[in-house]
């Protein structure tokens, strides 16, 4: 099983450029989310979705857009990249239940110069 697949693994952007980080899961999970990981700050929730067509903001949503047109895919769009968005981004999916395991992708390391 592929689980949660993120692409690309690495990306360098210039300030002001836009791009989309891809996330796909093959476990038919309802719940998907995006986190960013910064040194000394753990993981912070950017956006999440509880099902196709439904998205909501997390703790740090500014500068990011999401959509959920299918159960499988949950792309994260950076509208105009800024150096403050240099981070490692993780996508996660789970059954919509608090006590179940969240499955994480391998991460995308993004550098904005």
Partner 1 sequence: GEDVEQSLFLSVREGDSSVINCTYTDSSSTYLYWYKQEPGAGLQLLTYIFSNMDMKQDQRLTVLLNKKDKHLSLRIADTQTGDSAIYFCAETFTGGGNKLTFGTGTQLKVEL
For 1-113, where are the E strands, in sequence order?
Answer: 4-7, 10-13, 19-25, 31-38, 42-51, 54-57, 64-66, 76-78, 87-94, 103-104, 108-112
Using CB under 8 A, pick the residue from 4, 21, 66, 81 that binds partner 1.
4
Residue 99 binds partner 1 (CB under 8 A):
yes
> In Å, how far from its chain's centre is CA 40?
19
Using CB under 8 A, pick the residue from 11, 17, 27, 44 that binds partner 1.
44
- Shortest reach from residue 101's CB to partner 1, in Å: 4
Q: Which residues bind partner 1 (CB under 8 A)?
A: 4, 31, 33, 35, 40-45, 48, 50, 58-59, 90, 92, 94, 96-102, 104-107
């Amino acid at each position: 099983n592929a689980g949660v697949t993120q692409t690309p693994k690495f990306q360098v952007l210039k300030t002001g450029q836009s791009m989309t980080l891809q996330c796909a899961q093959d476990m038919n999970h309802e719940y998907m989310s995006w986190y960013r990981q910064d040194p000394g700050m753990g993981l912070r929730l950017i956006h999440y979705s509880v099902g196709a067509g439904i998205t909501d903001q997390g703790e740090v949503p500014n500068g990011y857009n999401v959509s959920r047109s299918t159960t499988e895919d949950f792309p994260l769009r950076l509208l105009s990249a800024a150096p403050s968005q240099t981070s490692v981004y993780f996508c996660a999916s789970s059954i919509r239940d608090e006590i179940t395991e969240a499955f994480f992708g391998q991460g995308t390391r993004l550098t904005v110069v």
